[in-house]
Amino acid sequence: MDQIRDAILNGASGDELAALPIPESYRAAYVRRDETAMFEGRESWEKDPRESLHVGDVATPELAPDEVYLAVMASSINFNTVWSSIFEPLPTFGFLDRLARESEWAARHQRDEHVLGSDGSAVVLRVGSAVRNWKPGDHVVVHCNHVDDQDPSSHNDSMFGSNQRIWGFETNFGGLADLSVVKANQLMPKPTHLTWEEAAVNALCAATSYRMLIGQNAARMKLGDVVLIWGASGGLGGYASQLVLQAGGIPVGVVSSPEKGELLNRLGVEHVIDRKADGYQFWADEHTQDEGEWRRFGRKVRSLAGEDPHIVFEHPGRSTMGASVFTARKGGTIVTCAATSGYMIEYDNRHLWMKLKRIVSSHFANYQEAWEMNRLIDMGKIQPILSGVFDLERVGDAALQVHHNLHEGKLGVLCLAPERGLGIADPEKRERIGPDKIGLFETHASEIATEG
């Protein structure tokens, strides 16, 4: 891989890259099948990704006709890397075993190491014989929707594909590595004004937020909508906040510290709720929710926005769903894609049906939605929310930060890129869009670090 890295850094042409040998093994971050029981008896928060995430060499898989080999320059930590590395709610090897039963090519994924990672910015090294739109040397970002294009159920909205999977979570050969194998229909052009690490953090969270709010398939926000956003400076929320602002809505962002609140203000979000400072206790005990707290929270939202939210952007799950259903306005929509704090959800159904609200589910994004979101990033309308960067060797530290909610926005991971700041193909465009806007989350993180 060193030869490949040097060639890329020296601006090798596509033909020159295509002539370089693909190594038989490559450096990757993975969890091991024989360690899936290692955290038994520990509470979730005590399960430490630094113990389960290994960085070492794995064998390079063969290339299927519809796939490409990528030199991965940078990747990012998503919450699914946390789930995989703490083996919750299930070890991911079951996904690989099921995938392996589908075809000869799919069988490659069944291994005793699961290479994780569902984001990446990369350079195409080789394309399979059926690939038409990409060639060696192309600079790309990767979205994580792994779709079987011979399955009829994939052809209206590919998220409905019966065997749709998330790359690097439900499939092997993920992006937290120097090399990856992905389907050609996961590729999108890398935004030309971004560094490798800025480009690497967007696709998964940004496209998920796009489908939840803007695309045709979920909440479908409109001009003027009030949108309550949980975790508004986190991975999903950082993009959701920007999308609502860009689409002419009124975001009300919930965060858990004054620093995160200030970051949102700098992003342009005027209405911010610090859930810790306000001390909301939606659950009186493990079994009982406190409607008085829902009311107190709802009053706060109304006092800020002047009205109840048209849309609630949900992902914390058990902790917040009762409050979310209560707080949405009459006829409003609660759009959910996750349940970080627990997936057995409880809410008062009277508030749902009597007020004609609806709960809409959403999961990642189809290729079209991911592409449209990537276009917004490429145009500089939506900024990357990179707040920190780790070397691949320190992937466990990065995953721990996300697991313990110590981060803002997204954490990037350098793979083949030897240092930060490389990969900008169009510096004038970067200047036009504004380096201060592009780097806001990182500037903020470093200011907080300096203040101690």
Site for ligand NAP, rule CB under 6 A: 78-80, 204-205, 208, 230-231, 233-237, 254-256, 260, 275, 315-316, 319-320, 337-338, 340-341, 363-364, 402, 405
Say if CB 242 and CB 267 are below 8 A apart: yes
C-alpha–C-alpha distance, residues 387 and 440, integer Å: 8
Decide if 156 contacts 165 (C-beta within 8 A).
Answer: no
Determine the Cα–Cα distance for residues 414 and 330; give it in Å rounded to an integer.
Answer: 46
At residue 177, the 3 state secondary structure works out as: strand
Nearest distance, CB of residue 280 and ligand NAP, angstroms: 9
Q: Which is nearer to ligand NAP, 31 or 402 (CB)?
A: 402
- Token pair for 367: 């290729």
Q: How far is the CB of 79 from ligand NAP (least distance, A)?
A: 3
Using the minimum distance from each CB to ligand NAP, give the nearer residue, 61 or 234.
234
CB of 139 to ligand NAP, least distance (A): 24
Helix (H, G, I), strand (E, B) or coil at 374: helix
Residue 338: CB minimum distance to ligand NAP, A: 3
Q: Minimum distance from CB of 199 to ligand NAP (Å)?
A: 17
Shortest separation between residue 60's beta carbon and ligand NAP, angstroms: 28
Considering beta carbons, is residue 214 or 254 the nearer one to ligand NAP? 254
Q: CB of residue 201 vs ligand NAP: minimum separation in angstroms?
A: 10
Place of tokens 């792994």: 146
277 versus 379: smaller Cβ distance to ligand NAP: 277
Shortest Å distance, C-beta 205 to ligand NAP: 5
Pair 264, 232: CB distance under 8 Å: yes
**How many angstroms separate the CA atoms of 268 and 263, rounded?**
9
SS3 labels along 244-305: HHHCCCEEEEEECCHHHHHHHHHHCCCEEEEHHHHCCCCEEECCEECHHHHHHHHHHHHHHH
**Pair 195, 421: CB distance under 8 Å:** yes
Give least dist CB 405 to ligand NAP, A. 5
Q: How far is the CB of 400 from ligand NAP (least distance, A)?
A: 12
| CB of 76 or CB of 172, closer to ligand NAP | 76
State the nearest-atom distance from the C-beta of 238 to ligand NAP, in Å.
8
- Secondary structure (H, E, C), 88-151: CCCCCHHHHHHHHCCCCCHHHHCCCEEECCCCEEEEEEEECCCCCCCCCCCEEEECCEECCCCC
The three-class DSSP label of residue 438 is helix
Distance from C-alpha of 359 to C-alpha of 317, rounded to nearest angstrom: 12
CA 231 – CA 237 distance, rounded (Å)? 5
Q: Where are the beta strands (DSSP E) in 381-437?
A: 386-391, 410-414
Nearer to ligand NAP, 21 or 279 (CB): 279
H/E stretch holding 200: helix 196-200
Q: Which is nearer to ligand NAP, 246 or 405 (CB)?
A: 405
Kindly tell me which of 80 and 185 has the beta carbon lying closer to ligand NAP: 80
The residue length of the chain stands at 452
Nearer to ligand NAP, 83 or 93 (CB): 83
**Shorter beta-carbon distance to ligand NAP: residue 276 or 295:** 276
User: Residue 173 or residue 297: which is nearer to ligand NAP going by CB?
Assistant: 297
